[in-house]
Amino acid sequence: MSNPDTPHQVPALDVSGLTVRYGPVTALDDVSMTIRPGRICGLIGMNGSGKSTLFKSIMGLVRPTAGRVTIAGHDTAHARSRGLLSYVPQAEDVDWQFPISVREVAMTGRYGRQNLFRRITARDNSAVDDALAQVGLTELADRQIGRLSGGQRKRAFVARGIAQGAEILLLDEPFAGVDKRSEATIIDLLTDLAAAGRTVLISTHDLSTLPSFADEAVLLMQRVLVHGTPEEALRPENLALAFGVDVTERRDHPTRTDAEVGR
């Protein structure tokens, strides 16, 4: 885990009174949360709880009905133009048949720092080389992205964020469809990034591993139900609020894990 907060830091991410409606449907209702630099925050909640909408709002891809998002003291548009944000999408949001190599995926993180002609400089190549080395994909740099394993694909998109120089990484279900070894590799990588001052917001259904790497957790159900330590968020009575789980039933079946509740 990363180091504790330093007083008087400008928040890496500050969400205040965020409400998002799609017609008559309220996806987010008065969501407020603050994450300090160098922290790993787990975002947990059932499908339809608003996690993806929150990510899209932070990225500026969804116009809020009310409220605001501030990234390192900047509005979302300014933060994106400066390359402060990087997003690792869910697997189903990516066309894995697209003819692009691992190195080219990482290089897309440099686009905001290139001129209109996308001319690749020595600095771009060095940044991508360093990023691929950090995620352990140097030897697979020329492989088409769809030919990687699930865990390798996730690491390729993390490499894009590293090459970009993003201060805040948003990861949407990075452990879905990956084996335990790949999951451990991704966790180690994110922990190293947080120790270096990067901020990570990560949605996950794998609740059992959350306390091992996250500094804090947000339990979401259109609104923020809990924002505290992972252990606090994973208390049975809080999970009951978010997932509709009968706490008495859970006590009658002690072998049922938190990870199973989240799936």
> How many other C-beta atoms can be found within 10 angstroms of the C-beta atom of residue 262?
21
Report the C-alpha gap between 75 and 80 in whole angstroms. Answer: 9
Identify the pLDDT of residue 119: 81
CB 185 within 8 A of CB 155: yes
Identify the pLDDT of residue 245: 58
Task: Report pTM.
Answer: 0.83
Q: Three-class SS of residue 184?
A: helix
CATH 3.40.50.300 residue window(s) in the chain: 9-84+198-205+213-258
What are residue 226's DSSP bridge partners? 219
What are residue 75's DSSP bridge partners? 70
Spans of the chain below 70 pLDDT: 1-8, 91-92, 113-117, 245-263
Four-way CATH pick for 9-84+198-205+213-258: 2.60.120.620, 3.30.460.80, 3.40.47.10, 3.40.50.300: 3.40.50.300
Identify the pLDDT of residue 151: 86
